[in-house]
Amino acid sequence: MMIGTWRWNAVLGISGGLLTLLFSLSSNGLAITAMRCVYAFVVFFVLAYLFRAILAFILHTPADKLPNEMVTDVPEEKGTRVDLSTPDESDELSGMLKQQLDGRPAEDTKEQAPFKPLQPEKLVSTPNKEPDELAKAIRHLTGG
């Protein structure tokens, strides 16, 4: 199984032919340029098939080559499959929302302390410092 369709090959072939037309028309006659455009189309078309086949070979998974019956017999290793389904917790969520609307605390939560905003220390500026002292401090902090 290759990645993509033959349309990619056609687009790459046409692109190669047009590039050949642009670069060859100024130095060659129309017949030679047309012949080179056809050759370029064929070469780019075939190279696109080769590129798609190599890309499919690199990106294939080992389970793709096994028949469906054998895929279930392969032991699963931890971390090979990811379950992205979310469990249904709508009943719990609606119960919590009702408790919040009624003003009651949640039953399974611990007693919480009242909210207290952070009070960071004030920044202290150093006016009237000598430039040499500030340069030494900066060098010391940057390790230079």
Residue with the larger pLDDT of the pair 114 and 11: 11
Examine residue 79 and state whether it is found in any structural domain, yes or no.
no
Which residues 6+ apart lie within 8 Å of 42 measured at CB? 13
Mean of per-residue pLDDT scores for the chain: 81
Examine residue 57 and state whether it is found in any structural domain, yes or no.
yes
The three-state secondary structure class of 135 is helix
pLDDT at 108 over 60: no
pLDDT at 109 over 70: no
Examine residue 25 and state whether it is found in any structural domain, yes or no.
yes
Q: How far is CA 26 from CA 22, 52, 116, in A?
A: 8, 33, 78
Averaged pLDDT, 12-37: 93
pTM > 0.85: no
Examine residue 92 and state whether it is found in any structural domain, yes or no.
no
| pLDDT band for position 65 (cuts 50, 70, 90) | low
Examine residue 140 and state whether it is found in any structural domain, yes or no.
no
Examine residue 47 and state whether it is found in any structural domain, yes or no.
yes
Give the domain extent around 48.
Answer: 6-61
- State how far the Cα of 139 lies from the Cα of 126, in Å rounded to an integer: 17
Examine residue 77 and state whether it is found in any structural domain, yes or no.
no
Q: Structurally, how many domains does the chain consist of?
A: 1
Examine residue 32 and state whether it is found in any structural domain, yes or no.
yes
State the pLDDT at residue 110. Answer: 56
State the pLDDT at residue 129. Answer: 78
pLDDT at 72 over 80: no
pLDDT at 67 over 70: no
State the pLDDT at residue 62. Answer: 66
